[in-house]
Amino acid sequence: MNFLFPGMLWALPLVSLPVIIHLLNRQRYQRVEFGAMEFLRRAIKRTRRRVLLEDILLLALRTLAVLFLILGLAGPTLGPGAVIGSRAPRAEIVILDHSMSMNRRVEGSSAFERAREGVQSMLEDLDPGRGDRAALILAGTRAVRPAYGNPVEVRLALDELDAAAPGPAALAEALEAARRTAETLESESGLAPSIRVYSDLQAASWQLDGPLGEALQRLAAEGRTLRVHDVGADGANTAVLSLTLSPSQLTAGGASEVRAVVRRYGPARSVRATLLLDGDTVHTETLDLGYSGEVEFQHLLQPARSGPRGVTLQLEGDELIDDDARHAILRVAEALPTLVVGRNAPTDRPDGIFEAVVRYLDLGPSGPLVVETEDPSRLRGNRLDGIGLLILADPGPLDGSAAEAVQAFLARGGGLGILPGPQTTQTDLDPLWSAIAPEGLRFGRPAELGTDTARLAILREDHPALQLFLDPRWRPLLTEVPHLSFRPIRTPAENTAITRILRFAGAEDAGETAIGDALVSWQHEAGRIALLTAAPLAAWNLMDQVPGGTLPFLLDLAQSLAPRAGHPDVIQIGDEIAVELPGAPAAAALLAPDGRRSVPAEPAEPLSGGRTRLQALAEVLLPGLWTIEADLLEGDGLERRHIERIAANVPAAESDPTPADSEAIRLALPEGSELLRPDEAATTRTDNEAGDARLAQLLFALMAGCLVIETLLATLLDRRRG
C-alpha cells in the first residue's frame, strides 16, 4: 500500500490517544475505605473479568476509529503486487518527443500538452524522500537530458517547457541516452528503472528501418522494456513545403521568380498566402487546396534596393503554426564590377574574343555589369582591387605576377572566367593553370571539322547560365548555332569537383558521342571558375549572328561567377549559423527573428584571402530570418558595416501528420513492452484512481462503523452497570 499524502502518517501516534485517556480516567478516582468494602470486593471479583473484556473492547473500537481516520486521510493507493506498508523506491526515465509535429493542435490541445500532463501525473507519484529517482530526456533535433536524479527537479524542468521545438525528433539518440541513463541509475542506486516514451507516433519520426530500429534492438538485447504512450490525435494541417528563388542572386532592378509549394493534409480548404520582402507585404492571394492536395505559388520579385533581402511566404494560422511560413534569401547586388583582360585584334583583322565579350557585357550605365578592360601585361594585384569578376578573354601568355594576382583574387572570393581562343594555348596559361586547375583538366588545340560543324549539347540544364534555354522555344538559339572550330576541353571523368555544363557534338552525332566539353566550372578556394571554349568569334562560329541567344548566355554566365557568400543562405532548424566575412570583424552581433540581440561567443577564424569565418550560433532553434551585423576593419583602420542574413526553416517532413503503423511499432518494441493509446492510458489511470477512492471510502466507513458500535456498546454497558 502506498499513500498520496504520506505526511499524514506522522499522526499515527494519535492512535494511542484512547488508551491514554482511559488510563487518565482511572486515575481520577480516590481510594476510600468503608465498612462494606469487603462485600463490594467479592462482587467485583465475580464480575471483574467480564468488565475488563468489555473495557478492552471499547478501547479497541476507539483506537481502530482513530487509525482508520488517519489512514483514510493519508490517501491510500493499492497497486498490483503492493503490500501493506511503505513501497519500494522507484526510478522512471521519460523520453519526451520534442519535435515540431507535437505542437499540432486538435480540439484545443496539442500532443505536447497532453504528453506533458501525462508525465506530470506520473512524476507526482514519485517521492524523493522514499529514494525515488527520475530523468527527463527531450528528443528534439538532438537528445538532451535537462534533468536527472531528484523527481522534484525533473518536474521543475518539465514545467519550464511551453511547447516542442520546431525541428525533428532524434528518437534513436534519445533511446541511446535512456539506455546509458538506466545503466547510471542502476549503478548509483541499485534501482531497475522503467523507460517511458511519450510521442505522437508521427510516421516521419518513427522510421523503424534505420537508427531507431537499431536502438530498439540494443534495448531488447539488454532485456529492457518500454512503455510507449501515444498522445497523438487525428487532425489536419496546411504547410509551406518549399520556397525557391530563381535566380537567388541578381543585380538591383533585376527580377527573380518566387516559387513555393503549399500542401494540405486533410479536408479541402482555402488559405490566404502573403509574400513578404523584408517583412513588407508585396503580394497576397487566396489558394484553394483540395483534399490532401498541393498547389504551386508563383510571383515575380523586382527589388530595387541592394543587399541580402529576406523573402517570406506566410499562410494564415492553422492547426500547426510552425510550418505556416518559409523563408529564403535574395541577394541583390549593385552592378558587378567586371574586368575583361585581353588584347585588341589588329586593325586589319576582324574582332577577336576580347572585343566580342566587351561588346556583349558592357551594356552601359543601366547594365548589370560595370565593365573595365585591361592589357594582360598590366594585370597586377592592385588592379583587381574592387573587382568582383575577372574575365580572361583570349589573353595570350600570362606572366608569374599576373598569375599571383589572379590567385589572390580568387582567394578573396572573386569570380574568374577563362575564354581561350586562337591566341591562347594552355602553355600560355601554365603559371596560373598549374595553381588553379583540377588535376587532369585540359583544353587542346583548335579542332578543325572540315566541311562538318559541331553543335552545343546541354549537360547541366539547372546551371544558372542556361536559364533562358530551359524553354524549348529558345534552346535552339544556343544548341543549333554551328561551330566550325574550337578548343575541346578534356575533362577527367573521375573528378567530381568539375561541373560539366556544355559539350560539343558532331552533326552526325545525334548527341551520343562527344567531341569534347565546351563549358566546365569548378571551385578554387573562395572563387568560382568557368572555362568556356565556345565564345563568340566570327572565324570559329556563328554566335555573333544569333545575339538573342549569345547575349543572355554570356550575361548569365558572368553573373553566375559573381562573388557569393561562402556559407549557405538557407539552413534548417538544428543547424549552426556560421558566415564567411570579407574581412576581420572588430565587433559582431546576431539579431534573431523575434528581435533578441546577442553577441557571438567565439572569435572569427581567419581564412585565406583575408576572409574570416564567424560562428554566430551553435544551434538554431527558431525559424525565420536571422541577421548578422559585423563591423569590418578596413586597411586604413576605419570600420565598415557588413550585413549578412540567414533563413532558417523547419523540416518539411514534420508537417505531415500521418501516424506510423502501430502494429509495426508493437512488433519492433522489446519483448514485454507496451504501446498505450490515449484511451487505454486514460482508462488505466481512471481505474486506478477509482480503486484508490474506493479504498479511502472503505477506511472512512470502517471508522464510522467503529464509532457507531462503540457508542451503542457503551450505552448498553452503562445501563447494565447502573
* 278 compared with 689, residue with greater pLDDT: 278
The answer to whether the beta carbons of residues 360 and 557 sit under 8 Å apart is no
> How does residue 1 score in pLDDT terms, banded at 50, 70 and 90?
low
> How does residue 48 score in pLDDT terms, banded at 50, 70 and 90?
low
Same domain for 230 and 242, yes or no, is no
Residue 642 has pLDDT above 70, yes or no: yes
Q: Are strands 280-289 and 269-277 parallel, antiparallel or unpaired?
A: antiparallel
Q: Tell me the percentage of the chain whose pLDDT exceeds 70.
A: 90
Q: Is residue 495 part of a domain?
A: yes
Q: Is residue 276 part of a domain?
A: yes
**Which residue type does 675 have?**
L
- Window from 451-460, 537-546, 550-559, 611-620 with minimum mean pLDDT: 451-460
Q: Return the axis-axis angle of helices 37-73 and 678-721, rounded to nearest 10°.
A: 170
* 48 compared with 487, residue with greater pLDDT: 487
Same domain for 350 and 491, yes or no, is yes
Residues 137-146: what's their mean pLDDT?
Answer: 95
Q: Give the residues across from 294 on adjacent strands.
A: 263
Residues 343-372: what's their mean pLDDT?
Answer: 91
CATH value at residue 579: 2.60.40.10
Domain count for the chain, please give it.
Answer: 5
Neighbours of 705 (CB within 10 A): 14
Residues 546-560: what's their mean pLDDT?
Answer: 94
pLDDT at 189: 87
Residue 80 has pLDDT above 60, yes or no: no
Residue 250 has pLDDT above 60, yes or no: yes
The answer to whether the beta carbons of residues 127 and 154 sit under 8 Å apart is no
Answer left, alpha or beta for residue 131, where phi above 0 means left and psi between -120 and 50 means alpha.
Answer: left
The answer to whether the beta carbons of residues 130 and 9 sit under 8 Å apart is no
> How does residue 11 score in pLDDT terms, banded at 50, 70 and 90?
confident
Residue labelled with grid coordinates 572540315: 450
Reported pTM: 0.76
Compute the chain's Rg from CA coordinates. 41
Same domain for 57 and 112, yes or no, is no
Same domain for 220 and 242, yes or no, is no
Q: What is the pLDDT of residues 229-247, one digit of tens each?
A: 999 998 899 999 999 998 8
pLDDT at 553: 96
> How does residue 82 score in pLDDT terms, banded at 50, 70 and 90?
very low
Q: Is residue 182 part of a domain?
A: yes
Q: What is the pLDDT of residues 681-694, one digit of tens each?
A: 544 444 555 566 67
* 386 compared with 519, residue with greater pLDDT: 519
Report d(CA 657, CA 361) in Å as an integer: 51
The answer to whether the beta carbons of residues 2 and 87 sit under 8 Å apart is yes
Same domain for 78 and 105, yes or no, is no
pLDDT at 494: 85
The answer to whether the beta carbons of residues 651 and 615 sit under 8 Å apart is no
C-alpha cell at 142: 538532438
Residues 653-667: what's their mean pLDDT?
Answer: 94
Q: Which residues contact 239 (CB under 8 A, 6 or more apart)?
A: 262, 263, 265, 315, 320, 323, 324, 652, 655
User: Which of 649, 684, 711 is at the close of a domain?
Assistant: 649
Residues 43-60: what's their mean pLDDT?
Answer: 73
Same domain for 231 and 104, yes or no, is yes
Question: If we measure between CA atoms, which residue out of 136, 139, 162 comes closest to residue 147?
Answer: 136
Residues 427-439: what's their mean pLDDT?
Answer: 93
pLDDT at 110: 94
> How does residue 141 score in pLDDT terms, banded at 50, 70 and 90?
very high
Residue 4 has pLDDT above 80, yes or no: no
pLDDT at 688: 53
pLDDT at 700: 83
Q: Is residue 684 part of a domain?
A: no
Question: In which order are the strands placed within the sheet that holds 639-649?
Answer: 570-572, 639-649, 624-633, 585-591, 597-598
Same domain for 387 and 260, yes or no, is no
User: Which of 503, 536, 560 is at the close of a domain?
Assistant: 560
Question: If we measure between CA atoms, which residue out of 135, 44, 150, 56 comes closest to residue 96?
Answer: 135
Q: What is the pLDDT of residues 376-385, one digit of tens each?
A: 999 988 899 8
pLDDT at 46: 61
Q: Buried (b) or exposed (e) across 204-230, using 16+ Cβ within 10 A?
A: bbbebeeebeebbeebbeeebebbbbb
Report d(CA 513, CA 321) in Å as an integer: 53
pLDDT at 86: 52
Question: If we measure between CA atoms, which residue out of 152, 150, 160, 147 comes closest to residue 95?
Answer: 147
Q: What is the pLDDT of residues 156-189, one digit of tens each?
A: 999 999 999 999 999 999 999 999 999 999 999 8
Same domain for 295 and 403, yes or no, is no
Report d(CA 443, CA 420) in Å as an integer: 9
The answer to whether the beta carbons of residues 409 and 387 sit under 8 Å apart is yes
pLDDT at 35: 57
Same domain for 263 and 408, yes or no, is no
Residue 622 has pLDDT above 70, yes or no: yes
Residue 45 has pLDDT above 80, yes or no: no
Question: If we measure between CA atoms, which residue out of 129, 98, 126 comes closest to residue 111?
Answer: 98
Q: Tell me the percentage of the chain whose pLDDT exceeds 90.
A: 65
pLDDT at 450: 65
> How does residue 44 score in pLDDT terms, banded at 50, 70 and 90?
low
pLDDT at 510: 45
Residue 2 has pLDDT above 70, yes or no: no
User: Which of 560, 584, 616 is at the close of a domain?
Assistant: 560
Q: Is residue 455 part of a domain?
A: yes
Domain membership of residue 596 as a residue range: 570-649
Q: Is residue 164 part of a domain?
A: yes
Q: What is the pLDDT of residues 207-228, one digit of tens each?
A: 999 999 999 999 999 999 999 9
Residue 598 has pLDDT above 50, yes or no: yes
SS3 (DSSP) at 39: helix
CATH value at residue 662: 3.40.50.410
Q: What is the pLDDT of residues 701-711, one digit of tens each?
A: 888 888 888 88
Question: If we measure between CA atoms, which residue out of 649, 605, 672 comes closest to residue 313?
Answer: 649
Q: Is residue 290 part of a domain?
A: yes
Same domain for 523 and 582, yes or no, is no
Q: Which residues contact 597 (CB under 8 A, 6 or more apart)?
A: 589, 590, 591
CA quadruple 172, 173, 179, 185: dihedral sign: negative
Q: Which residues contact 99 (CB under 8 A, 6 or more apart)?
A: 139, 140, 164, 165, 167, 168, 169, 202, 205, 654
Same domain for 598 and 667, yes or no, is no
> How does residue 13 score in pLDDT terms, banded at 50, 70 and 90?
confident
Same domain for 518 and 550, yes or no, is yes
Mean pLDDT estimate for the chain? 88
pLDDT at 353: 95
Q: Is residue 686 part of a domain?
A: no
